Amino acid sequence: MGTVIGLTVPMAGNDDAASPAATEEALGSAADAVERIFRELDGQFSLYRPDSEASRVARREVTPKETSAGFRDRYAEAANWRLLTEGSFTPERPDGAPDLSGLVKGYAVQEAGAALASLGLRDWCLNAGGDVLVSGSPIVGTAATWQAGIVDPQDRGTLLAAYPLGGGHTARALATSGSAERGDHIWTRATGPSEFLQVSVAAADIVTADVLATAIVAGGLPMLNRATDGWDVQILAVRRDGGLLATPGFRA
């Protein structure tokens, strides 16, 4: 997916009865499961891979109705988000070709998290290019939170904030969207670039956080207000002039 996937697992406590060798084996299985999920979804949905299902649809070699059940399910999910965001989030490019990249990375993180849980891992942090999902705590057996750092889009060597995830907090996910890493690549509802350089959203699940971050970049301040009214989320938005808009959770 054109990014780096990081998995952090505290060694102690995920399986207290396991030997060190067994723990290493479990960690290897976890890494393999995460890699498999991302490779499979990248192979299916990447528009940068000419052999992917998404590329075949974009070239009109197949219609959306002729795609796999998994492709149709993600397309339907993305279309529902378009309705929920009143068009700020869209599953199509301006030329009408399906583009599910605004949903698929968050979905991949979600599925990878489910795979880690199924392997019995209770404490972990998964980071896919700034989309972060956590479980448990970085200090096993405590309510300590993971700290998800948010980079300043105008100075990539500086952190704007660190948001607590997991532990005793409801929020387990944080997603960041914007133009700092890849330039202006999000379809906006306005004719010019987005009024926001970067938007970070903390939520209970990664798909909601990821979609809303993209939708706010695309829809601007009206979508930011709609998100705070309609979802239990916390938001940090960076304007193009460097000004910040933050909900109470980021100001605490």
Q: Answer whether residue 39 shows pLDDT above 50.
A: yes
Residues of 60-75 as b/e, b for ≥16 C-beta within 10 angstroms?
eeeeeeebeeebeebb
Instruction: Band the pLDDT of 97: cuts 50, 70, 90.
Output: confident
Mean pLDDT, rounded, for 176-181: 75
In the chain, domain spans: 5-251
Strand partners, 217: none
Q: Which pLDDT does position 236 carry in this prediction? A: 97
Question: How is domain 5-251 classified at the CATH fold level?
Answer: T-fold (3.10.520)
Instruction: Convert the pLDDT of each residue in 161-173 to its tens digit.
Output: 999 999 888 899 9
Residue 7 three-state SS: strand
Q: What's the pLDDT score for residue 185?
A: 46
Inform me whether the pLDDT recorded for 208 exceeds 90. Answer: yes
* Alpha-carbon span 26 to 14, nearest angstrom: 10
- Cα torsion 139, 140, 141, 143 to 10°: value is 40
Tell me if 66 sits within 8 A of 144, measured CB to CB: no
CA–CA gap between residue 10 and residue 12 (Å, rounded) = 6
State the Cα–Cα distance between residues 14 and 4, nearest whole angstrom. 24
Over the chain, what is the mean pLDDT? 89
Going by C-alpha positions, the residue among 200, 186, 32, 183 that lies closest to residue 132 is 200
Distance CA 210, CA 164 (A): 17
Residue 203 predicted with pLDDT over 70: yes
Separation between Cα atoms, residue 235 and residue 229, nearest integer Å: 12
The amino acid sitting at 251 is: R
How far, in Å, CA of 228 to CA of 203, rounded? 11
**The predicted structure's pLDDT at residue 194:** 82
Q: Give dist(CA 200, CA 213) in Å, integer.
A: 6
Question: Other CB atoms closer than 10 Å to residue 98's CB: what's the count?
Answer: 22
Tell me, what's the pLDDT at 14?
A: 54
| Alpha carbon 8 to its chain's center | 17
Give Cβ neighbours of residue 183 (< 8 Å, ≥ 6 apart). Answer: none
pLDDT recorded at residue 133: 98
Helix, strand, coil abundance in the chain, percent, nearest 5: 40, 25, 40
- Of 14, 223, 234, the closest CA to residue 120 belongs to 14
For residue 48, report the phi and psi dihedrals to the nearest 5 degrees.
Answer: -90, -5
Name the strand (E) or helix (H) holding 39.
Answer: helix 20-45
**The pLDDT of residue 214 is above 70:** yes
Residue 82's pLDDT band (cuts 50, 70, 90): very high
